Amino acid sequence: MKAIIFLLASIILSTASFGQKHSPRTLLFVHGAWDGGWDYAKVDSIYRTKGDVVYRPTLTGLGERVHLSNANINLTTYITDIVNVIKFENLHNVILVGHSFGGMVISGVAEQIPERISQLIYLDAMVPNDGESAKDVCGVLWNHFIPFIKDSMVLYPFGTNKSTYPTDVPQPLKTYTEPLKISNPLVKNIPTSFIQMTKDGKSESAYNAMGLNKAKERNWKIYPFEGGHYSMREQPGNLVKKLEQVLKEH
């Protein structure tokens, strides 16, 4: 009899715990320059075990879509890539996360379909003002990229690429030089946060100019996160924990 009671109690507790799980959330990750959706595979896996829905599309000409690469691809192409994922998958209440260069992309997506987005999270990302291109946002850091511009493409400038896939690949120059028009007042209604990567508690001044300073000007909540720029590669579990902190506080 005690065994039966114990079994029934276990079932009730298990059912109660299941009922306490959050409703499935929709997260869409936009990778940075030279990168691809492949970089979020581990983050994707962690979120799916939580019951969430994850999208990690690759922008045209990068990652597994490198065979489509050409010099005419621009920032509009990338923005359209993500807008179409949201439209064709009929997504609503999207938590849109942009890493690094991906900040340019999610800014453009928010301009077009703010009603589909529940939160914007800039992950150590570029934050453009109206009329700025990624080149403009880079500021003095762009000088570092100039030697890597070949045949209207920007080669990966931070060391040697991996010799096997997946790896970073060249990115069309026009994606950096096309300016972004920002004028939709509805974007200001979207809860927006900025995750700033730090080393020994400090962030790099070059990256501050690209994103952090503007985030502060706009009174976004800032979340320091210790580690390197590519947190999805180097510490995916901790990135999820940081994202959960952001989501919980909004």
Does a structural domain hold residue 3?
Answer: no
In a domain, 201, yes or no: yes
- Give me the number of domains the chain comprises: 1
Residue 176 inside a domain? The answer is yes
Note the pLDDT of residue 177. 98
How do strand 171-172 and strand 153-154 relate by DSSP bridges? antiparallel
> How confident is the model over 143-174, as pLDDT tens digits?
999 999 999 999 999 988 888 999 999 999 99
H-state helical runs in 31-173: 41-49, 75-88, 102-112, 134-138, 142-145
In a domain, 109, yes or no: yes
pLDDT at residue 208 in the model: 86
Q: What is the pLDDT of residue 209?
A: 87
| CATH code at position 109 | 3.40.50.1820
How many residues in total does the chain contain? 250
Q: Is residue 122 domain-resident?
A: yes
Tens-place pLDDT, residues 54-71: 999 999 999 999 999 999
Name the pTM for this structure: 0.90
pLDDT digits (tens, 9 = 90+) for 84-118: 999 999 999 999 999 999 999 999 999 999 999 99
- φ, ψ for residue 202, nearest 5 deg: -120, 150
Check pLDDT > 60 for residue 8.
Answer: no
Convert the pLDDT of each residue in 204-241 to its tens digit: 767 788 999 999 999 999 999 999 999 999 999 999 99
d(CA 199, CA 225): 9
Kindly report the average pLDDT of the chain as a whole number.
92
For residue 17, the model assigns a pLDDT of 39
Residue 71: inside a domain, yes or no?
A: yes
On whether residue 16 sits in a domain, the answer given is: no
Range of the domain at 78: 23-248
pLDDT of 185: 97
Q: Is residue 131 part of a domain?
A: yes
